[in-house]
Amino acid sequence: MALFKRSRFTEIPQDVDLTAIDRESKYRNFKGTQQKLLTAALTCFSLFQLYASLSGMIPQQILRYVHLGFAISLAYIMYPTTKNSDRNKMNPIDLVFAAAFVSVIGYFIINFKPLQLRAGAYTRLDVIMAGMGIVLVLLACWRVVGPPIVIIASCFMLYGLIGEKGTFVAVMPGFLNHRGYGLSRVITHLFITTEGVIGNPIGVCSTFMFLFIMFGACLEKTGIGQFFIDVANAAAGWAVGGPAKVAVLSSALQGTVSGSSVANTVSTGSFTIPLMKSLGYEPEFAGAVEAAASTGGQIMPPVMGSAAFLIADSVGIPYSKLMLTAIIPALMYFTGIWIMVDFEARRKGLKGLPREQLPPFKPLVMQKGHLVLPLVAIIYFMLTGFTITRSALWGILIAVGITFVRKNTRVPVKQILSALPLAARNVVSVATACATAGIIVGMVTLTGLGQRIGAGMFEIVGGNVFLGLMCAMLTSLILGMGVSTTSNYIITSTVAAPILIKLGVPLLASHMFCFYFGIIADITPPVALAAYAGSAIAKGNPFKTGVNAAKLAIAAFLVPYMFALNPKMIMIDGTFLEALPMIVTGLIGIWGIGGGLIGYINGPVKSYWRLLLIAGGLGLLIPGMMTDIAGTVLIFAVYFYNRLVKNKQHPAEKTAAAAKKS
């Protein structure tokens, strides 16, 4: 039991420099009065958001401006200019930037009604203040999220300024050509209207996202997150390759309320990775298991990653329907990782932990089982017709109250209240990314770029759905290098999703396809942030860890193609009974591919048979009766042949194999 005692499940090992991996974790470490002032500001941010959600009296545009004002000004205070800056002191220039942005926001809030009356006839001061706002948003995003998304947003702005009537007169080639817009038109469109910085991305962030980030903070501070990890230990710690399976289970549970692959990797990986290494796993494989599992947390209902709320808003469906649609691919993803981990453990003869070192399952559930109620409640509320806002608010209330039901789960009120600044701190990076991504969306709507790219790519792929899917996948993976999932989804859903829709892929399936590949960019080399976080804890090779993570998450690369080519698998225009055969064949296919990649099914598999397993698995993932039959025959032929060879093994070889396994 002592092996699993920890003060908080988000504790980061002291020897891991997370800031070198994830820019969003590069917080300043204030002390004394400065820390108290920052905590007070963060608490005010959270209290304002809760008041806005409970009262519903603040106009949406005002709410978005205030939310953005808090987020950007806090970004300048919380994040240093560079990674080499002193993280213990406040730079006076940062206070100037923060104050400047507060004044910009104040200007637009005070002049809210006059700006509406003179829409399209803005004054010079309006343009100057809007221009200052855009520059300050981009500079803050550079600090928090990194340069890739800022460079992309700047290129989109430049694209809008180029054209016959633009600030820069030029002719764009082919389908990219457009009329062009003046600087003042671009600036006012991006910062004053609800088509840019304060558009739908920041609108969703200021409502649904914030509340669910608050819900996650409450789970952390009340100890419910630690309970999830204890349950995973009790359920799977004793099995073959136990710690690796614990990583899969705990990351799935914790990932339901975490919007960051890197944060999830570090929090659960800080104890699962050392345990895996102690049982014989190579550092690169241990780090990869945690990274792959943690990344999958963002596709696991009920909460998923922050971008999931943007999907519901973009597609125009209830979030409860999105949950039901996402559950099948999510379970297939984690089943795929579980299969790969199990094969690897059996191949290397890695055993689980002794039961006496694990928390006993039944007493744990009997004593703390009530802590799962917040998660159950939030699912129930969303499925029974409650709005997302009401569901989240009830979830927060239950998460706080449930800990007082029994004495052994009570926590100090001060600790619960610390969830307020934690939630605000966590939302700053998301809001900054959403504001910058809003610039991209605003330029796409102003110039019609989405339709232009869609039409151009449709001509390039020649109407071939598979080629279109590959283009969308590569776009998501490339744009996802070092970019947050939220930003990645907004970009790819704006640029790539229209291509898929034009090729006949349903609207929701198109957006989910982009969403999935935006997420697994975090474990796809060469820039695999979650894998690098895992390698830092495991002290392994980062690139090799990324390759292993991508191999373990093979289901994540295959399942999106399955539901895009056959949307009935995720119950789009179909029922669960219609989806069931596809789920079964898909799981068999993933099992075969996993065995082929690891080189083990019911025993070691030789290289040429591994190729047949992979071929059979791919056949089962392609829709069609003939491919299903061929794939099934190949996989089970290898399985039974391998079993036959194993049974005919010489007695001496059996004894040696048994001794090696023990």
* pLDDT of 653 strictly over 60: no
Tell me: pLDDT of 507 over 80: yes
**From CA 323, how far away is CA 299, in angstroms rounded?**
9
**What confidence score (pLDDT) does residue 51 get?**
94
Nearest to 148 by CA among 412, 479, 453, 437: 479
pLDDT: which is higher, 27 or 109: 109
Q: Which of 313-317, 452-456, 484-488 has the highest mean pLDDT?
A: 313-317
> In sequence order, which ranges of 485-624 are alpha helices (DSSP H)?
485-495, 497-502, 507-520, 529-538, 542-552, 554-565, 576-598, 607-621
What is the reported pLDDT for 257?
53
Alpha helices in 79-195 (DSSP H): 92-110, 112-117, 124-144, 147-161, 183-191
Residues in the chain: 662
| % pLDDT > 90, the chain | 22
User: CA-CA distance, 28 to 303, in Å (whole number)?
Assistant: 29
Q: How far is CA 522 from CA 295, 301, 302, 430, in A?
A: 7, 19, 21, 16
pLDDT at 187 over 90: yes
Pick from 576, 590, 580: nearest CA to 620: 590
C-alpha closest to that of 571 among 335, 297, 321 = 321
478, 484 contact by CB (below 8 A): no
Q: Is the pLDDT of residue 75 over 90?
A: yes
Q: Tell me the per-residue pLDDT of 150-165, one tens digit each, with 9 for 90 and over.
A: 988 899 899 999 887 8
> pLDDT at position 655, please?
52
Contact between residue 85 and residue 151 where contact means Cβ atoms under 8 Å apart: no
Summarize pLDDT for 412-436 with one digit per residue, the tens.
Answer: 989 999 999 999 998 898 889 889 9
Q: Assign 97 a pLDDT band (cuts: 50, 70, 90).
A: very high
pLDDT tier, 488 (very low <50, low <70, confident <90, very high otherwise)? confident
pLDDT digits (tens, 9 = 90+) for 279-322: 777 888 888 888 888 888 778 887 776 677 788 888 888 888 88
pLDDT above 70 (res 263)? no
Quickly state the pLDDT bin for 105 (edges 50, 70, 90).
very high
Quote the mean pLDDT of the chain.
Answer: 82
| pLDDT attached to residue 41 | 95
Q: Work out the burial of residue 244: count CB atoms within 10 Å of its CB; fewer than 13 is exposed, 13-18 middle, 19 or more buried.
A: buried
| pLDDT band with cut points at 50, 70 and 90 for residue 103 | very high
pTM of the model: 0.75
Residue 162 pairs with which residues in a beta bridge? Answer: 168
Three-state secondary structure call for residue 162: strand
3-class SS letters over 321-373 = HHHHHHHHHHHHHHHHHHHHHHHHHHHHCCCCCCHHHCCCHHHHHHHHHHHHH
* Residue 659 pLDDT greater than 80, yes or no: no
Higher pLDDT, 527 or 208: 208
- Report how far residue 211's alpha carbon sits from residue 303's, in angstroms, rounded to the nearest whole number: 11
Per the listing, tokens 């025993």 go with 603
Confidence of residue 267 (pLDDT cuts 50, 70, 90): low
Average pLDDT over residues 570-580: 87
Asked if 227 and 371 touch (Cβ cutoff 8 Å), the reply is yes
Does the pLDDT at position 660 exceed 70?
Answer: no
Mean pLDDT of 168-183: 81
Q: How confident is the model at residue 129 (pLDDT cuts 50, 70, 90)?
A: very high
Q: Residue 259 above 60 pLDDT? A: no
State the pLDDT at residue 353.
72
CA distance 545 to 529: 11
Helix (H, G, I), strand (E, B) or coil at 604: strand
Banded model confidence at residue 250, pLDDT cuts 50, 70, 90: confident
| Residue 128 pLDDT greater than 70, yes or no | yes
Contacts of residue 178, Cβ cutoff 8 Å, sequence gap at least 6: 163, 172, 447, 448, 449, 452
Most confident range (mean pLDDT) of 96-100, 345-349, 399-403, 483-487 is: 96-100
Q: Given pLDDT bands bounded at 50, 70 and 90, which one contains residue 7? A: very low
**pLDDT of 26:** 66
- Tens digit of each residue's pLDDT (9 = 90 or more) over 54-65: 998 899 999 999
Span 118-136, average pLDDT = 91
